[in-house]
């Protein structure tokens, strides 16, 4: 809806949407009905005018023939009273010859200047027209009446005029009856719209009341039972939003819980070390070294937990861009090069362009954790290789180290947070971060031990992501 209709109720919107076209149709029909009714009334009352004209024609006499014919008429005005419908209707007549010379009647009645229709409505030489006479609108019937007698033959022009009060009153009465009927119909439409909207919005009000009555933090799905079919997409969409909110809140709670639990231990150790140093239990240099190690572990833990939270944040935002996996891997390999050099690792890297739909930070963090783990577990002087490959649909990152591999007892909980193989060497968040990143990007991650002489000889970490052009 537009901003103009944002504050309009559904009832008002429906009433306006229905009554405006209905009112327009009623107005058009009323104008059309008025015209057609007036035509029908004229047709009916024109018969009366024609009958009165014929009655007058029966009382005419003629002397002489054709051009020499002289018409005579003795028509009292009372002869028209039988054709007057009521006291308000007045009738006038005029008899003349073909040359317009008045013979009888109201001489000031304007003479007829028209012509007989090719196909007159009645079996007579008659024409009907409207004009004004004595400040009144009148309807006039003109009858060309042949007149014959033993003494002659001629043609009379008989005009009979009637005022329009009765015709207009009858037309208006029919129109008013129609308008009252339409007003009743409009009233019925309003009543039906109000009742239907009230009943149709009842499930919406019930859902609103259910949501308002919920306790804070209650994100259980809404029940769609009994909801109209048109309302179910809204219920499903609301449940989807609530599910995502519940997932987000659960991640936040887990983050706070894990942070409180995991940081408590290094902070307690740090406090103990500081107190021991203050008491002089250990040498200052040794104490500073132990404190430094503890601070480094706490810093690494905090950074990894923040990275884990950021993965969820980026997934919720859903604002991925196209980034090159090979560039992210090479950047992280360059950043971690000092660690490789410290252990004199035989490092080999091979990449090819692999554009994927992902935030650049995600790809860098994925490469950082996989390479850091591989460097940490690769023995001094060992081999470590990194490859980024791409086919028509998939980009693959393969990190191959020569470390001890993964023990069988650790494999079931490999990607769970804080499941490090050696708690003294790490927090157990690196692989969990990799797993969350890959899941957010719709890919897969697989860790597989390599064996040599039936003994673990290293680990292959393989990540597969869809190329950017294959995702929509």
- 179: in domain: no
- 64 dihedral zone (left: phi>0; alpha: psi -120 to 50; beta): left
> For residue 204, with 0-12 CB atoms within 10 Å meaning exposed, 13-18 middle and 19 or more buried, which class applies?
middle
**Per-residue model confidence as pLDDT tens digits over 352-376:** 999 988 888 888 888 888 998 899 8
- Domain shared by 304 and 329, yes or no: no
- Domain shared by 31 and 135, yes or no: yes
Question: Which carries the bigger pLDDT value, residue 46 or residue 469?
Answer: 46
Pairwise CA distance, residues 432 & 463, whole Å: 14
Pairwise CA distance, residues 443 & 248, whole Å: 21
Backbone angles phi, psi at 383, to 5 degrees: -110, 145
Please answer whether residues 263 and 297 qualify as being in contact, where contact means their C-beta atoms are separated by less than 8 angstroms.
no
Please answer whether residues 311 and 431 qualify as being in contact, where contact means their C-beta atoms are separated by less than 8 angstroms.
no
Pairwise CA distance, residues 396 & 434, whole Å: 14
- Domain shared by 121 and 38, yes or no: yes
- Domain shared by 297 and 166, yes or no: no
- Note the pLDDT of residue 39: 85
**Per-residue model confidence as pLDDT tens digits over 118-169:** 777 777 788 889 899 988 889 999 988 888 888 888 888 899 998 888 888 8
The H-or-E segment that residue 189 falls in is helix 165-200
- Note the pLDDT of residue 352: 92
- Domain shared by 310 and 345, yes or no: no
- Domain shared by 274 and 309, yes or no: yes
- 394: in domain: yes
Structural domain ending residue among the three candidates 317, 352, 368 = 317
- Note the pLDDT of residue 81: 58
Please give the model's pTM, rounded to 2 decimal places. 0.48
- Domain shared by 254 and 369, yes or no: no
**Per-residue model confidence as pLDDT tens digits over 208-243:** 887 788 787 777 777 767 677 777 788 888 888 888
- Note the pLDDT of residue 112: 86
Question: Which domain does 169 fall in, by range?
Answer: 11-173
Look at 22-26, 52-56, 162-166, 292-296 and tell me which has the smallest mean pLDDT: 292-296
- The per-residue DSSP string of 42-58 comes to HHHHHHHHHHHHHHHHT
- Note the pLDDT of residue 327: 92
Structural domain ending residue among the three candidates 297, 317, 337 = 317
**For the chain, how many structural domains are there in total?**
3
Buried b (16+ CB within 10 A) or exposed e, 136-159: eebbbbbbbbebeeeebebebbbb
Structural domain ending residue among the three candidates 317, 352, 383 = 317
Please answer whether residues 245 and 317 qualify as being in contact, where contact means their C-beta atoms are separated by less than 8 angstroms.
no
Residue 19 three-state SS: helix
Pairwise CA distance, residues 176 & 182, whole Å: 10
- Domain shared by 346 and 299, yes or no: no
Q: For 63-121, what is the HEC assignment?
A: EEEHHHCEEEECCCHHHHHHHCCCCCCCEEEEEEECCCCEEEECCCCCCCCCCCCCCCC
- Note the pLDDT of residue 425: 47
What single DSSP character describes residue 214?
S
């Amino acid at each position: 809806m537009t901003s103009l209709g944002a504050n309009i109720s559904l009832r008002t919107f429906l009433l306006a949407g229905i009554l405006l076209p209905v009112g327009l149709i009623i107005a058009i029909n009323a104008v059309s009905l008025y015209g057609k009714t007036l035509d029908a009334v004229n047709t009916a009352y024109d018969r009366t005018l024609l009958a009165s004209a014929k009655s007058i024609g029966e009382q005419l006499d003629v002397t002489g023939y054709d051009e020499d014919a002289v018409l005579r008429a003795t028509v009292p005005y009372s002869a028209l009273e039988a054709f007057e419908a009521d006291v308000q209707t007045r009738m006038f007549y005029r008899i003349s010859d073909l040359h317009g010379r008045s013979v009888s009647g109201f001489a000031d009645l304007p003479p007829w200047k028209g012509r007989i229709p090719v196909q007159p409505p009645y079996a007579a030489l008659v024409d009907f027209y409207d004009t004004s006479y004595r400040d009144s609108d009148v309807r006039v019937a003109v009858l060309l009446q042949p007149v014959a007698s033993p003494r002659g033959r001629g043609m009379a022009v008989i005009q009979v005029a009637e005022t329009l009060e009765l015709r207009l009153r009858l037309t208006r009465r029919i129109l008013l009856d129609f308008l009252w009927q339409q007003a009743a119909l409009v009233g019925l439409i309003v009543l039906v719209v109000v009742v239907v909207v009230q009943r149709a919005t009842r499930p919406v009000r019930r859902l609103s009341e259910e949501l308002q009555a919920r306790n804070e933090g209650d994100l259980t799905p809404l029940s769609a039972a009994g909801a109209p079919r048109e309302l179910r997409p809204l219920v499903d969409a609301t449940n989807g939003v609530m599910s995502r909110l519940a997932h987000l809140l659960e991640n936040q709670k887990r983050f706070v819980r894990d942070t409180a639990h995991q940081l408590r231990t290094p902070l307690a150790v740090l406090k103990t070390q500081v107190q021991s140093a203050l008491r002089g239990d250990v040498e200052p240099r040794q104490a500073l070294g132990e404190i430094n190690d503890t601070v480094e572990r706490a810093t690494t833990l905090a950074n990894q937990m923040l990275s884990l939270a950021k993965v969820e944040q980026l997934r919720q935002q859903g604002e991925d861009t196209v980034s090159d996996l090979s560039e992210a891997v090479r950047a992280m390999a360059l950043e971690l090069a000092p660690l490789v050099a410290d252990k004199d690792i035989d490092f080999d890297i091979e990449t090819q362009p692999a554009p994927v739909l992902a935030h650049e930070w995600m790809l860098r963090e994925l490469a950082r954790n996989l390479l850091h783990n591989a460097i940490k577990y690769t023995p001094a002087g060992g081999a470590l290789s990194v490859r980024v490959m791409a086919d028509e649909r998939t980009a693959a990152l393969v990190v191959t180290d020569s470390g001890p591999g993964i023990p069988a007892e650790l494999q079931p909980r490999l990607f769970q947070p804080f499941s490090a193989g050696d708690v003294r060497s790490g927090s157990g968040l690196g692989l969990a971060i990799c797993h969350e990143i890959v899941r957010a990007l719709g890919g897969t991650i697989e860790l597989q031990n390599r064996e040599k002489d039936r003994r673990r000889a290293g680990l292959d970490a393989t990540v597969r992501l869809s190329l950017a052009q294959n995702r929509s």
